[in-house]
Amino acid sequence: GQNIDQPTEMTATEGAIVQINCTYQTSGFNGLFWYQQHAGEAPTFLSYNVLDGLEEKGRFSSFLSRSKGYSYLLLKELQMKDSASYLCAVRGPGNQFYFGTGTSLTVIP
């Protein structure tokens, strides 16, 4: 079966750094994706990892360890607009994406 776990909620302070973890167990692996979803809007793509290591993209970085079935999304210099739900997703065989239930991040002043 497919299982993707991430924390339900997190709170962090504006200007700080926050790390959102994701663990997964899936049959087949063709990459791990992070999406951001603001309330009432569609998910938007943030990052993609298919090999182990860190991918950096501006204020956002994502890390993957395939042997551990583990990823994290790192958000630096948090801004109020970063308050959103962050979805971890694994791409399985074909184009099937398996999503976690999302981590609701609240950034406070």
Partner 1 sequence: KAGVTQTPRYLIKTRGQQVTLSCSPISGHRSVSWYQQTPGQGLQFLFEYFSETQRNKGNFPGRFSGRQFSNSRSEMNVSTLELGDSALYLCASIGSNTEAFFGQGTRLTVV
Contact between 87 and partner 1 (CB under 8 A)?
A: yes
> Considering only residues 84, 102, 105, 107, which one is a binding residue for partner 1 as defined by CB under 8 A?
102
Torsional class of 40: left (φ above 0), alpha (ψ -120 to 50), beta (otherwise): left
Using CB under 8 A as the binding rule, whether residue 29 contacts partner 1 is answered as no
Query: In whole angstroms, how far apart are CA 37 and each of 20, 24, 51?
Result: 14, 20, 24
Based on the shown chain and the rule CB under 8 A, indicate whether residue 95 belongs to the binding site for partner 1.
yes
Q: Under the rule (CB under 8 A), what is the footprint of partner 1?
A: 33, 35, 41-45, 48, 87, 89, 94-102
